[in-house]
Structure 1
Amino acid sequence: MPIMIRLFIPFALGYWLSYVFRVINAVVAPNIMQELGIDSASLGFISSAYFLTFAACQIPLGILLDRYQTRHVAPVLLLFAAAGSLTFALANSSTLLWIGRGLIGMGVSACLMAAFKSYATWLKTEQLPLINGLQLACGGLGALTATAPAEWALQHSDWRTLFILLALASLLIAALLYSCIPLTPRNHTDIRLPTLLRQTLAVIRTPAFYQLAPASMLSQSVFIATQSLWAGIWLQRVNQLSASDAAQMLLVSALGMMAGFLGLGGIASRLNRFGIGTQSISFCGMAGFLLVLLWIQLHPGRADTLAWAAFGFFGTSGTLMFAGLAQQFPAAISARVSTSLNLGIFLGAFIVQWGMGAIIARWPSANGVDYSAEAYRTALGCATALQALSLAWYLICRWRPSQLSNADST
């Protein structure tokens, strides 16, 4: 079997699973709220546990992937996802739901970064854009699976059965990763853990990182937090769609996300030939995402299929910053650069998703489940403000160096 196929199949399935776990709460949340009597603040906290543990794993994960075998790290972590999915399926309290969701986030934390690390190790440089784009597109397939297909499954079963099946899928994919991923030739350079941690902190303190990364972090945080939970409830409460129609709209958004993963990389490659940098292309895409957020909020009645397709498409534009940042650091610490950015993204997603739930819960509700449309508008409006601030930070950081260089030349 060609090495590209041997690597791609298990990693694609792993990232597909990661996105199913990430997005499925947008469909099953109303069922969980009704069955267990959970309010919006608790729901936001439970769902965001995935992002908290996912973020907490990123710095250790970068060190593990740079130092140990991907074949060992990724499958072991997926065992935690299986345990978490089973815990979530059997939970009868908010605490157990939170623990299960947290274990899931920990378990799938390596699904993308481990793939990028293995592709960079085993494949030729010219193969990476294609394989990375296909890998990200499989995340879009996972998001698609967690929309209308998940809603269809709920009509024939319940959310607990879905999570039991996902636990079994986690075990199968872990076994596939272990059997398919080749062992990497060992690097005999023994770098001590304190040195690795200092190198990681040095990455975060580098101007190239803290000037470029926040825009991507907050843009992706808002996109992920909204898409994975609040978008589905928004469509039902604000747009007054049925559960099945809301799931269909989320499916459209997932298709837009797949198109973004596949299309934006190709667009960036073509524009790079004309001297237009990847960071500038990413910024334009994130600005487009901001406009789509405003469209959805200011004109919800006219935010139809096109708006939600654009939400998915432009919501992926922050991922282009991964390529822009990776080019500015040595290959030996590439995993730690990517995982440091991922840390910020998923820590931000945890805060945004939980914060939106807390804002919604400030409005009165007769049953602790149904809130007014104004509550959801306010919560999404606050998230949109964060998106705008992140773009302002990027512009300020790009403007100041040019001002300083002009001053030096006079």
Structure 2
Amino acid sequence: MPIAARVFLVLLLAYFLSYFFRATNAVIAPDLRQDLGLSPAELGLMTSLFYLTFALVQLPLGSLLDRYGPRFVHPALMLVGALGALIFASAENFTVLSLGRALLGIGFAAALMGALKAFSLWFPSTRYASVSSLYVALGASGAIAASSPLAWLKEQIGWRGVFEWGALVIVLVALAVALGVENAPRGLSLPRPERGGGAGVIWQSQVFWRIGALNFVLGGGFLAWQTLWAGDYLYKTRGMGGLEVGALLFAFSLAAVLGYLLSGTLADRLGLPRVLWGAAWGFLLGVLLLALWPAMPLPLLYGAYALMGFLGAFNILCLAQARLAFPTALTGRAVTAINFMGFIGVFLLQWGMGVVLGLFGYGAALGLWTALLALAILGYRPLRTKSL
């Protein structure tokens, strides 16, 4: 097997786990409410802590990846995630549950960023968008595993058992990354940023803020919905059971996998900003449909979830655009900065949606999200016709 393919596949195992663990709460939310008595605001805050710690780690992570590469940085963080899974499994109150969730976020903070750094050296820039989107598409199958399969597994061993066994799997995959991943092709060292050419160049760029704002609301909102509120919405507004919810989440996640697969190819052929711009408007349409018509017929509901899953996955193009907009020596810093914006978006939107829906219901929460999406898309507008 070519070394580049091995690097891709080993890192993919870790990303699969990242997607699985971030999405579990959408299925186990009723169990957490029943066992620990969580309110909607507590459920939203606890779930969003994965993304808060994940986002905060992005700030030093970019420099660490640019300097040391993903081979050891990534698995070292994963061991923290394994500890988080054990703590989550043993939790008897909101505080301990939150600690476990927060450590899981730290543990998987490099699952995508480490891979994107590695791919910038192992694959040519002309294939970067398609390789990255393929990686995310395959890794996003972790969210499929966290839908109907998780609902079944939870019935067999309980939600605590899922996390206990999950901790062991995390440790094994961390070992595989340390042993099976090389930072760069033989004879090629990691590029070093020039003095004065670090993170400040990125954060002062208008291009960064236009991409970052879109990733905050589109990428952040997509994950906030997929990993918690998409399930809760069905429990609350439709009165569905766990297996019915799992089936709709399966449709959402399967559509997201297809979106990840096709987004890079479409971007390479039609122009990345143009494709991202159109996908964002289509995603907004899906959110608006759920806000205005919660009682829609079931086939249409499946269609709305599939539409949001498919087009929401195009948020990965924000990261590819960051890779192409800044020098290779700054790849780690650029993509982690954009990723930071996305995951801070997940944290604030997931928590904030819990607060708003607790006070005013899903109509208001989804309406506010729609308005934020429209503002971010309009802010991105000057980039939509640029050729990348």
Residue 381 of structure 1 pairs with residue 375 of structure 2: no
* Alignment TM-score, normalising by the size of structure 2: 0.93
Q: Which residue in 1 is equivalent to 2:203?
A: 204
Partner of 2:215: 216
- 1:342 is matched with 339
Kindly name which structure, 1 or 2, has the bigger radius of gyration based on alpha carbons. Answer: 1
Alignment partners' CA distance in 2, 1:339 and 1:191: 15
Partner Cα distance (1:336, 1:345) in 2: 14
Aligned match of 1:408: none
Q: Which runs of 5+ in 1 are unaligned?
A: 272-276, 364-374, 402-410
Is the counterpart of residue 292 in structure 1 residue 278 in structure 2?
no
Deviation (angstroms), 1:188: 9.0
Cα pair distance change 1:336/1:183, threshold 3 Å: closer
Matches within 5 A, 1:32-181: 32-181=32-181
Quick one: distance in 2 between partners of 1:188 and 1:247?
Answer: 43
Q: 1:163 to 1:6 in 2, by over 3 A?
A: same
* Whole-Å separation in 1 of the counterparts to 2:122 and 2:264: 21
Alignment of 1:216-365 (within 5 A): 216-271=215-270, 277-300=271-294, 301-302=296-297, 303-362=300-359
Match of 2:379 among 393, 396, 403: 393
How far did 1:204 drift?
1.2
Shift in CA distance, 243/202, structure 1 to aligned 2, threshold 3 Å: same
1:268 Cα shift? Answer: 1.8
Q: Contact 2:279/2:311 (CA < 8 Å) preserved in 1? A: yes
For 2:105 and 2:191, locate their aligned partners in 1 and report how far apart those are by CA, in whole Å. Answer: 31
Q: 1:170 to 1:350 in 2, by over 3 A?
A: same
Q: What amino acid is the match of 2:178?
A: Y
Query: Do the aligned partners of residues 189 and 235 (structure 1) sit closer, same or farther apart at CA in structure 2, a change above 3 Å counting?
Result: closer
1:111 counterpart SS class: coil
1:239 partner letter = R
**Bigger shift: residues 354-363 or 21-30:** 354-363
- CA 1:16/1:189 → structure 2, altered by over 3 Å: closer, same or farther? closer
**How big is the shift at 1:211?**
2.6
**Alignment deviations for residues 150-196 of structure 1 (CA, whole Å, 9 cap, x no partner):** 0011121211001111111110100000110125468598879xx67
CA contact (8 A) 1:113 1:335 kept: yes
Q: 1:124 to 1:152 in 2, by over 3 A?
A: same
**Percent of pairs identical after alignment?**
35
Q: CA distance change for structure 1 residues 254 and 69 in 2, over 3 Å: closer, same or farther?
A: same
Alpha-carbon distance, 1:134 to partner: 2.3
Distance 2:162 2:256 in 1: 23
* Structure 1 residues 239 and 217: CA distance shift in structure 2, 3 A: same
Q: Distance in 1 between matches of 2:343 and 2:23?
A: 14
Alpha-carbon separation, structure 2, partners of 1:190 and 1:320: 25
Pair 278,127 (structure 1): closer, same or farther in 2 beyond 3 Å: closer
CA displacement, residues 236-261 of structure 1 (integer Å, 9 cap, x when unaligned): 21122221111100000001000000
- Residue 7 of structure 1, CA deviation: 0.6
Structure 1 residue 131: Cα displacement:
3.0
Looking at structure 2, the residues matched to 206 and 174 of structure 1 have their Cα atoms a distance apart, in angstroms, of: 35
Contact conserved, 2:50 with 2:106, CA < 8 A, in 1?
yes
- Matches of 1:75 and 1:218, distance apart in 2: 29
In structure 2, C-alpha distance between the alignment counterparts of 1:188 and 1:149, rounded to whole Å: 40
Give unmatched runs, 5+ long, in structure 2: none
Deviations 1:305-346 (A, max 9, x none): 221111100111222122223222111001110000000110
Displacement after TM superposition at 1:100 (Å): 0.6
**CA offsets per residue over residues 118-169 of structure 1, 9 Å max, x none?**
1222234455444323211123200100000000111212110011111111
- Over 3 Å counting, the alpha-carbon distance change for 1:297 and 1:99 in structure 2 is same
2:67–2:190 CA contact under 8 A, matched in 1: no
Pairwise CA distance, 1:265: 1.4
RMSD: 2.1
Mapped partners of 2:191, 2:251: distance in 1: 48
Q: Does the aligned pair in 2 maintain the 1:286–1:315 contact within 8 Å?
A: yes
- SS of residue matched to 2:182: coil
1:341-371 residue CA offsets vs partner (Å, 9 max, x unmatched): 00011011100101111123336xxxxxxxx
Between 85-94 and 382-391, the greater mean CA deviation after superposition:
382-391
Which shows bigger deviation, 249-258 or 115-124?
Answer: 115-124
Partners of 1:188 and 1:173 in 2: CA distance: 24
* Superposed CA offset, 1:16-45 (max 9, x none): 000001111000111011111111111111
SS in 2 for 1:110: coil
